[in-house]
Amino acid sequence: MDKQNVDHVKIKINGKDRPVSQSNANVEELPVSTWDEKRQAENEVASAKQPIEEEDEFPWLLPEEESIFKEDPKVVTPTKWKNKKHSNQTVTPYIYPKKNKKAISLGFPLKKMVSILFLAVGVGIGFGYIALHLMSNEDMPATATPLTQNQEPSDNASEQAENKEGATKEEAPAASTSSATLEVYAVQGGIFSTNEGATTVRSSIQSKGLASTTLEQNENFTVIAGLGKEKAETDYLNEEYKQEGFTEFWGGKQLTVNIHTSHEPEKWSAILYELSSHAAASIKGKNVGEETLATIENSIKQLHVSEEEKSSREKLLQSVEEIRTKEGWKAQQSLLDVVQSLYK
């Protein structure tokens, strides 16, 4: 068996047997289809037969680190660990030196504060000085000089005092005056732009024994020809005027006026309101109870009046007496005179 393994191998090429040893059998040409594949196969076989030569050792000589890294600034040199301590050696800790802390000066903030204080005072004095010079003498407040025992006040001072006292006396009645609203129905005789036109109509009404007065409202002059508590009362008065030829009068006109008195204007307004109704009833010929008239008369006498209002109070008492005697138009005229005197 061993001999057979050593025998040559016979390969038949082109019909001829050629003995090839086993070592040469491996070198025979490989079956290829193209010339390129054949050339590639031969190169692979040739490279496989070349012995691998051992590489000679080449001594690598490196330049010193300092010469390289010092000349080239772009290279960062590694840290050299010199004096490396081994585990069996003791390491002495590094003691940092103490820093000499400078003592903080206590006088520094105090000086700063004093400087700021003086600076603020200086700026304030400067602005005050500028403002003092910019102000004129008229803007400066006048200083009052006290009077000595022998010194008398000047004439101007006495005149001013008299003017103030006079103004106080004149304004005293106006300050004590109060007002109240009187709301009644009235017969309107016309509205005129001038007082002369209103006076002409008023005179013609009074000439026939009827009642009328003039009130200035909204820069116009209105002729009032009778008062009543109810609209029907003034409608009746308007019919009386038509019979006398005053066909353009208007009855049932709502009239609102403010009356001004020194005391209790509400009582004045209430008395005028009641008497206007009784005066209209007296024109119709109706009787008014004596008890009712006595109550109203007593209220009129209890009114607190000023000197100027005494005549108005007398007019009210007169209207009560005229209602009692059934003189209704005269009572209406007395009431209209009171309204005109208290209306402002």
Looking at per-residue pLDDT, the higher value among 102 and 233 belongs to 233
Instruction: Say if CB 335 and CB 229 are below 8 A apart.
Output: no
40 pLDDT exceeds 90? no
Q: What is the pLDDT of residues 192-201, one digit of tens each?
A: 999 999 999 9
237 pLDDT exceeds 60? yes
In 3D space, the residue among 296, 254, 261 whose CA is nearest the CA of residue 279 turns out to be 296
Residue 96 lies in a domain: no
Chain Cα centroid distance, residue 312: 53
In 3D space, the residue among 51, 343, 1 whose CA is nearest the CA of residue 184 turns out to be 343
Reported confidence tier of residue 153, pLDDT bands at 50, 70, 90: very low
Residue 216 lies in a domain: yes
Domain that holds residue 265: 179-342
- Phi, psi dihedrals of residue 213, rounded to the nearest 5°: -155, 170
The pLDDT score that the predictor gives to residue 109 is 72
Q: What is the pTM of this model?
A: 0.51
5 pLDDT exceeds 50? no
Instruction: Say if CB 340 and CB 257 are below 8 A apart.
Output: no
Chain Cα centroid distance, residue 1: 125
Residue 103 lies in a domain: no
Q: What is the pLDDT of residues 83-109, one digit of tens each?
A: 555 555 565 665 656 655 555 555 557
The CATH code of the domain that includes 271 is 3.30.70.1070
Residue 223 lies in a domain: yes
The share of the chain scoring above pLDDT 90, in percent, equals 43
Give the least confident one: 24-28, 224-228, 269-273.
Answer: 24-28
Instruction: Say if CB 191 and CB 220 are below 8 A apart.
Output: yes
Beta strands in 35-176 (DSSP E): none
Q: What is the pLDDT of residues 246-260, one digit of tens each?
A: 988 988 899 999 999
Looking at per-residue pLDDT, the higher value among 120 and 66 belongs to 120
Instruction: Say if CB 229 and CB 185 are below 8 A apart.
Output: yes
The pLDDT score that the predictor gives to residue 117 is 82
Q: Residue 198: left (phi > 0), alpha (psi -120 to 50), or beta?
A: alpha
Q: Residue 87: left (phi > 0), alpha (psi -120 to 50), or beta?
A: alpha
Residue 46 lies in a domain: no
The pLDDT score that the predictor gives to residue 142 is 45
**Which strands make up the sheet holding 220-228, listed edge to edge?**
213-217, 220-228, 178-192, 250-261
- Phi, psi dihedrals of residue 217, rounded to the nearest 5°: -135, 125
27 pLDDT exceeds 50? no
Residue 27 lies in a domain: no
Domain count within the chain: 1
Q: How far is CA 160 from CA 150, 166, 167, 182, 233, in A?
A: 21, 10, 10, 41, 57
The pLDDT score that the predictor gives to residue 167 is 47
Quick one: average pLDDT of 208-224?
92
The pLDDT score that the predictor gives to residue 254 is 92
Say how many C-beta atoms besides its own lie within 10 A of residue 78's C-beta: 8
Q: What is the pLDDT of residues 48-63, one digit of tens each?
A: 555 555 555 556 555 5
3-state class of 154 per DSSP?
Answer: coil
Looking at per-residue pLDDT, the higher value among 225 and 129 belongs to 225
Residue 132 lies in a domain: no
Residue 246 lies in a domain: yes
**Distance, CA of 155 to CA of 211 (rounded, Å):** 55
**Distance, CA of 335 to CA of 211 (rounded, Å):** 9
28 pLDDT exceeds 60? no
